[in-house]
Structure 1
Amino acid sequence: MTSPHYGGPGSGPRPRKVDPADRAQLAEQPVSLRRIGALFAPYRWQVAVVVALIVASSLISLANPFLVRAVIDRAIPAQDVPLLVWTVLGMLAVTVAVSVIGVVQTWISTTVGQRIMHGLRTDVFAHLHRQSLGFFTRTRGGEIQSRLTNDIGGMQTVVTSTATSIASNLTTVVGTAVAMAVLSWRLSLLSLIVLPPAIWLTRKVARMRRAITAERQRTLADMQSQIEESLSISGIQLGKTLGAGPAMSQRFSESSLVLTDLEVRSDLSGRWRMATMSIVFAAIPALLYLAAGLPATSGGMTIGTLVAFTGLQGALFRPLMSLLDVGVSVTSSLALFSRIFEYLDLPVEIDDPRHPVPMPREDVAGAVRFEGVVFRYENADRNALDGVTIDMPVGSSLALVGETGSGKTTLASLVPRLHDPTAGRVTIDGVDLRDISLAELSELVGVVSQETYLLHATIRENLRHARPEASDADIEAAARAAQVHELIESLPDGYDTVVGARGHRFSGGEKQRIAIARTLLRDPRILVLDEATSALDNETERAVQTALDAVSRGRTTITIAHRLSTIRDADQIVVLDRGRAAERGSHEELRALGGRYAALLARGGDARAAAEEGAVAERGAADVAPRVQARRRAPRGEEAGDRVAVEV
Structure 2
Amino acid sequence: MPQAPAPSTGSQAPSSFAALARLLRYARGYRRQIIAATTCSIINKLFDIAPEILIGIAIDVVVNQDTSFVASLGFETAQQQIIALGTLTFFIWAGESLFEYLFQILWRNLAQRLQADLRQDAYEHAQRLDMSFFEQRSSGQLVATMNDDVNQLERFLDGGANAMIQVVVTILAVGAVFFAISPLVACLAFTPIPVIIWGTFFFQRKAGPLYADVREKVGDLSSRLSNNLGGIATIKSFTAEQREAERLRTSSEAYVEANRKAIRVSSAFIPVIRMAILAGFLATFTVGGMMALEGSLNVGAYGVLVFLTQRLLWPLTGLATVIDLFERAMASTRRILDLLEEPVQVRDDGKQPLTAPVRGDVAFERLSFQYHNSSAGIQDISLKVPAGHTLALVGATGSGKSTLIKLLMRFYDPAKGRITIDGTPIDTVSMQSLRQAIGLVSQDVYLFEGSIRENIAYGRPDASDADIVAAARTAEAWEFIEQLPDGLDTLVGERGVRLSGGQRQRLSLARALLKDPAILILDEATSAVDNETEAAIQRSLRHIRHNRTVIVIAHRLSTIVDADTIAVIDGGKVAETGDHSSLLAEDGLYAAQWRVQTGHADQPQPA
Contact 1:46 1:112 in 2 (8 A): yes
Match of 2:213 in 1: 215
Structure 2 Cα separation of the partners of residues 547 and 602 of structure 1 = 26
2:358 paired with 1:371: no
**Residue type at the aligned position of 1:470:** A
Match of 1:64 in 2: 51
Question: 1:534 aligns to what SS in structure 2?
Answer: coil
2:23 paired with 1:41: no
Give the one of 416, 421, 434 matched to 2:427. Answer: 434
Structure 2 Cα separation of the partners of residues 556 and 271 of structure 1 = 67
Match of 1:145 in 2: 143
Sort the Cα spacing of 1:77 and 1:328 in 2 relative to 1 into closer, same or farther, 3 A: same
1:442-478 deviation per Cα after TM superposition (whole angstroms, max 9, x unaligned): 2111010110001111112222221122222222221
2:120 paired with 1:122: yes
Match of 1:198 in 2: 196
1:24-78 deviation per Cα after TM superposition (whole angstroms, max 9, x unaligned): xx69xx9587654322322222333233323332333343123212333325886
Structure 2 Cα separation of the partners of residues 312 and 119 of structure 1 = 41
Structure 2 Cα separation of the partners of residues 368 and 280 of structure 1 = 76
Sort the Cα spacing of 1:419 and 1:47 in 2 relative to 1 into closer, same or farther, 3 A: closer
Contact 1:117 1:152 in 2 (8 A): yes
CA RMSD of aligned residues (A): 3.2
Residues 148-227 of structure 1 aligned to structure 2 (within 5 Å): 148-158=146-156, 164-227=162-225
Residues 304-315 of structure 1 aligned to structure 2 (within 5 Å): 304-315=300-311
Match of 1:538 in 2: 531
Match of 2:478 in 1: 485
1:589-608 deviation per Cα after TM superposition (whole angstroms, max 9, x unaligned): 2122222211111123x56x
| TM-score, normalization by structure 2 | 0.87
Residues 270-419 of structure 1 aligned to structure 2 (within 5 Å): 271=267, 274-294=270-290, 298-318=294-314, 336-360=332-356, 363-381=357-375, 384-419=377-412
Sort the Cα spacing of 1:197 and 1:387 in 2 relative to 1 into closer, same or farther, 3 A: closer
Using the TM superposition, give the Cα deviation of residue 202 of structure 1 relative to its aligned residue in structure 2, in angstroms. 3.6
Sort the Cα spacing of 1:389 and 1:267 in 2 relative to 1 into closer, same or farther, 3 A: closer
Structure 2 Cα separation of the partners of residues 420 and 48 of structure 1 = 45
Contact 2:122 2:336 in 1 (8 A): yes
Contact 1:463 1:521 in 2 (8 A): yes
Residues 626-637 of structure 1 aligned to structure 2 (within 5 Å): none
**Residue type at the aligned position of 2:426:** L
Sort the Cα spacing of 1:347 and 1:312 in 2 relative to 1 into closer, same or farther, 3 A: same
Sort the Cα spacing of 1:172 and 1:11 in 2 relative to 1 into closer, same or farther, 3 A: farther
**Residue type at the aligned position of 1:540:** T
Structure 1 Cα separation of the partners of residues 47 and 114 of structure 2 = 30
Structure 2 Cα separation of the partners of residues 593 and 262 of structure 1 = 64
Structure 2 Cα separation of the partners of residues 595 and 205 of structure 1 = 71
**Residue type at the aligned position of 1:344:** L
Contact 1:479 1:517 in 2 (8 A): yes
| TM-score, normalization by structure 1 | 0.82
1:162-185 deviation per Cα after TM superposition (whole angstroms, max 9, x unaligned): 764554333222111111233333
Structure 2 Cα separation of the partners of residues 359 and 366 of structure 1 = 11
Contact 1:359 1:440 in 2 (8 A): no
Sort the Cα spacing of 1:477 and 1:191 in 2 relative to 1 into closer, same or farther, 3 A: same
1:133-166 deviation per Cα after TM superposition (whole angstroms, max 9, x unaligned): 2111112222222322233333334566676455
Using the TM superposition, give the Cα deviation of residue 512 of structure 1 relative to its aligned residue in structure 2, in angstroms. 0.4
Structure 1 Cα separation of the partners of residues 420 and 258 of structure 2 = 56
Using the TM superposition, give the Cα deviation of residue 111 of structure 1 relative to its aligned residue in structure 2, in angstroms. 2.5
Structure 2 Cα separation of the partners of residues 339 and 293 of structure 1 = 53
Structure 1 Cα separation of the partners of residues 138 and 97 of structure 2 = 47
Structure 1 Cα separation of the partners of residues 569 and 7 of structure 2 = 52
Residues 613-628 of structure 1 aligned to structure 2 (within 5 Å): none
Structure 2 Cα separation of the partners of residues 262 and 423 of structure 1 = 46
Structure 2: give runs of 5+ residues left out of the alignment: 66-76
1:287-308 deviation per Cα after TM superposition (whole angstroms, max 9, x unaligned): 4333244368754445443332
Moved more, 238-247 or 431-440: 238-247
Structure 2 Cα separation of the partners of residues 371 and 193 of structure 1 = 76
Moved more, 182-191 or 430-439: 182-191
2:544 paired with 1:551: yes
Using the TM superposition, give the Cα deviation of residue 365 of structure 1 relative to its aligned residue in structure 2, in angstroms. 1.4
Match of 1:54 in 2: 41
Using the TM superposition, give the Cα deviation of residue 494 of structure 1 relative to its aligned residue in structure 2, in angstroms. 1.6
Using the TM superposition, give the Cα deviation of residue 420 of structure 1 relative to its aligned residue in structure 2, in angstroms. 2.4
Contact 1:291 1:298 in 2 (8 A): no
Match of 1:568 in 2: 561
Sort the Cα spacing of 1:285 and 1:590 in 2 relative to 1 into closer, same or farther, 3 A: closer
Question: 1:351 aligns to what SS in structure 2?
Answer: coil
Give the one of 233, 236, 239 matched to 2:232. Answer: 236
Sort the Cα spacing of 1:282 and 1:345 in 2 relative to 1 into closer, same or farther, 3 A: closer
Count of residues in correspondence between the two structures: 587
1:252-276 deviation per Cα after TM superposition (whole angstroms, max 9, x unaligned): 1122233334445544445455324
Structure 2 Cα separation of the partners of residues 31 and 49 of structure 1 = 23
Match of 1:495 in 2: 488
Sort the Cα spacing of 1:475 and 1:278 in 2 relative to 1 into closer, same or farther, 3 A: same
Sort the Cα spacing of 1:12 and 1:432 in 2 relative to 1 into closer, same or farther, 3 A: closer
Using the TM superposition, give the Cα deviation of residue 131 of structure 1 relative to its aligned residue in structure 2, in angstroms. 1.8
Question: 2:419 aligns to what SS in structure 1?
Answer: strand
Sort the Cα spacing of 1:71 and 1:111 in 2 relative to 1 into closer, same or farther, 3 A: same
Match of 1:259 in 2: 255
Question: 2:382 aligns to what SS in structure 1?
Answer: strand
Using the TM superposition, give the Cα deviation of residue 216 of structure 1 relative to its aligned residue in structure 2, in angstroms. 2.2
Question: 1:506 aligns to what SS in structure 2?
Answer: coil
Using the TM superposition, give the Cα deviation of residue 484 of structure 1 relative to its aligned residue in structure 2, in angstroms. 1.2
Contact 1:401 1:573 in 2 (8 A): yes
